[in-house]
Structure 1
Amino acid sequence: MEHRKLGTELTVSALGLGCMGMTYAYGSSDEAQSVATLERAVDLGVTFFDTAEMYGPFTNEVLLGRVLKPVRDRIVIATKFGFKIDESLPHGQNIVGLDSRPEHVKAVAEASLKRLGTDVIDLYYQHRVDPAVPIEETVGAMADLVREGKVRAIGLSEAGAATIRRAHAIHPIAAVQSEYSLWSRDPEENGVFETCRALGIGFVPYSPLGRGMLAGGIRAAGDLAADDFRSTLPRFQPEAFEANAALIAMLEAMAAEKGVTAAQLAIAWVLHQGDFIVPIPGARKVAHLEQNTAAASIRLSPPEVSALGEMLNPQKVQGKRYSEASLAMTNL
């Protein structure tokens, strides 16, 4: 596994592992499979693991802390704060808003350290920009945690270019995490890529497989369980799904010609967009993990990269990546 830099502080495997689906959002999961997947990821050379307070909430951090404890000294764990969680409400209804006040930033860090069973968070992200709190105040609190030795590096998720620059002026930002894939390329268009390159910030694409759609494993909108978060997304509604399936068929045909899977081709394309990019495809099963990590060794020619980019140009995709309400919390 090759390695890449996130800012100046962190060196990680070129491909990380997004762990959200192990406890959150994508319907029921199997803890034994999740444990096996985490352990196999370490065997394959993956050193970058992504979690968050809200994934569960809380249970994802506990899982990672327990399983990865034996190898804690040779891996990088990223977690996130920024949502207001009301534990008195039922599961699925307990994320009730944003909260990036300095006191909350620090309280969540303390709680995450305990759940992860560690004395330092390698990469601490603001999960979503909070319009009610100046980014300078939030990053100031994150910088305090770095000075205290509780956090090694800090990042932002789904932040806009202007916010990234303001944050970076307060304390170096190591990484910006946003959705990015063959069919979701907002960071190319809204100045985020340009800003990251200019400031030496790493970029961490989540959902590089289009929440599983680009992997070809979801054949119809009805394949998703009722409690699967994706069933609420515009791109996974029946009419949009049918239109987008035609694009996936083209991706699968090109992958077959190259002797790889559609998932591997989609991940390889993301990796080829720049050496400052470290995708974190999710996986809950060992077979999917092994398939994804093999993509790190695929080499694409410039014509192949260009052809793929045009084949799944986001202008051809039906449906937005989030609801309008959720999109309102991105690129702030």
Structure 2
Amino acid sequence: METKRLGNTDIVVSAIGLGGMRLSLSNRPPEAQAIATVHQALDLGVTLIDTADSYCKDESDKHHNERLIYKALQLYSGDVNQVVIATKGGLMRPAGAWTRNGNPDHLRAAIRGSFEALGGKKPIDVWQYHAPDANYTIEASLAPAKEAIAAGMLRFVGVSNFSVEQIKRARDVVEIVSVQNQYNPWNRQPELDGVLAYCEQEGLTFFPWSPLGGSQRIGQLLEIGAIVQLAQAKGVSVYCIVLAWLRAKSPCVLPIPGASKPETIQDSLNALKVKLSDAEIAQIDQATAT
């Protein structure tokens, strides 16, 4: 398995991770299938799993994905000591909606809840502030994360849905190792707003969320001719081409594609074998330009 260093830490993780969200939303697969999916990822060498306290049906189901992943790790027959869990806090799920909550008191409770959902025995590897809340300063919202590091509940901190200026402010509060923003063929904002370049310059890991466009758009990949043609020429799926394209954009990019069945994560990892030339990357760039 190809590996990458996580930010400026000494932690080494697989070059593609597993996104856990699809295992816990309202259309979640049966638990046995979800656990089998996590186990397949581990069997194939994945050592990074991305989750969040809000990956659930609604507020009554909070922390479902974290508990599921912890259970899957407990049931796994192999060595899980090198597996890194990256979770997030700061989004609420009232009636299944997504809302931001950067209240420091809420985030203190969220971190504690995630710590307990993930076993409560060792620090969370990476906790990420899920999205900035305009009702609270970044400094106030990240203070609980700094406190949690001192208390032994967190090892490292990341941010999600942040601009370059917001990342800089976050780094004045606590060391930041990762940034997770949306990045896919339909949303190339990280290339334009300086976030991707900043992460590369500063040695931060960039996790592109929704790398394949999410459930609303993943089927539309078959409508992008350049991607379809490259997939046919290289004998892989269109999903592999997109993941390979994202990886080619910067050495700091570490895709975390979601999966709800074992064969899906297996296909995603085939992207590690795909090498795109500069000309092929340019073809995809041109086909996805807005």
Instruction: Name which of 61, 68, 74 aligns with 1:63.
Output: 68
How far the C-alpha of 1:6 sits from its partner, in A, is 2.3
Residue identity matched to 2:67: V
Instruction: Name which of 86, 92, 98 aligns with 2:96.
Output: 92
Give TM-score scaled by structure 2 length.
0.90
Partner of 2:175: 172
Change (3 A) 1:286 1:160: same
Partner of 1:277: 253
Residue identity matched to 1:282: G
- Counterpart mapping for 1:35-74 below 5 A: 35-56=35-56, 57-69=62-74, 70=76, 71-74=79-82
How far the C-alpha of 1:214 sits from its partner, in A, is 6.9
Q: d(CA) in 2 for partners of 1:142 and 1:30?
A: 33
- Counterpart mapping for 1:28-177 below 5 A: 28-56=28-56, 57-69=62-74, 70=76, 71-84=79-92, 91-92=95-96, 95=98, 97-118=99-120, 119-177=122-180
Q: d(CA) in 2 for partners of 1:74 and 1:197?
A: 24
Kindly indicate whether the alpha-carbon contact (under 8 Å) linking 2:86 and 2:125 is maintained by their aligned counterparts in 1.
yes
Partner of 2:24: 23
Q: d(CA) in 1 for partners of 2:254 and 2:69?
A: 20
Partner of 2:59: none
Q: d(CA) in 2 for partners of 1:55 and 1:214?
A: 19
Partner of 1:287: 263
RMSD between superposed Cα atoms in Å: 1.9
Change (3 A) 1:50 1:155: same
Q: d(CA) in 1 for partners of 2:92 and 2:276?
A: 43
Q: Deviations over 1:228-273 (max 9, x none)?
A: xxxxxxxxxxxxx6xx7632x4422221012211111111111111
Instruction: Name which of 217, 235, 246 aligns with 2:223.
Output: 246
Q: Does 1:258 align with 2:234?
A: yes
Q: d(CA) in 1 for partners of 2:269 and 2:30?
A: 21
Higher relative contact order (CA 8 A, sep 6+): 1
Partner of 1:191: 194
Q: d(CA) in 2 for partners of 1:278 and 1:192?
A: 14
Residue identity matched to 1:20: M
How far the C-alpha of 1:102 sits from its partner, in A, is 2.4
Q: d(CA) in 2 for partners of 1:259 and 1:7?
A: 33
Residue identity matched to 2:146: A
SS in 1 for 2:39: helix
Q: d(CA) in 2 for partners of 1:267 and 1:276?
A: 13
Instruction: Name which of 307, 311, 317 aligns with 2:287.
Output: 311
Q: d(CA) in 1 for partners of 2:47 and 2:277?
A: 27
Kindly indicate whether the alpha-carbon contact (under 8 Å) linking 2:52 and 2:63 is maintained by their aligned counterparts in 1.
yes
Kindly indicate whether the alpha-carbon contact (under 8 Å) linking 1:214 and 1:263 is maintained by their aligned counterparts in 2.
no
Residue identity matched to 2:29: S
Q: d(CA) in 2 for partners of 1:284 and 1:43?
A: 16
Partner of 1:233: none
Kindly indicate whether the alpha-carbon contact (under 8 Å) linking 1:182 and 1:269 is maintained by their aligned counterparts in 2.
no
Change (3 A) 1:193 1:172: same
Kindly tell me the number of residue pairs found equivalent between the two proteins.
280
- Percent sequence identity is 32
SS in 2 for 1:73: coil
Kindly indicate whether the alpha-carbon contact (under 8 Å) linking 1:81 and 1:108 is maintained by their aligned counterparts in 2.
yes
SS in 2 for 1:123: strand
Residue identity matched to 1:285: K
Partner of 1:221: none
Instruction: Please list every run of 5 or more consecutive structure 2 residues that lacks an aligned counterpart in the other structure.
Output: 57-61
Kindly indicate whether the alpha-carbon contact (under 8 Å) linking 2:50 and 2:86 is maintained by their aligned counterparts in 1.
yes
How far the C-alpha of 1:30 sits from its partner, in A, is 2.3
Q: Deviations over 1:161-197 (max 9, x none)?
A: 1100111122221000011122211111112112212
Kindly indicate whether the alpha-carbon contact (under 8 Å) linking 1:155 and 1:175 is maintained by their aligned counterparts in 2.
yes
Q: Deviations over 1:265-311 (max 9, x none)?
A: 11111111111111100011111111101111211111111112112
Partner of 1:223: none
SS in 1 for 2:85: strand
Partner of 1:205: 208
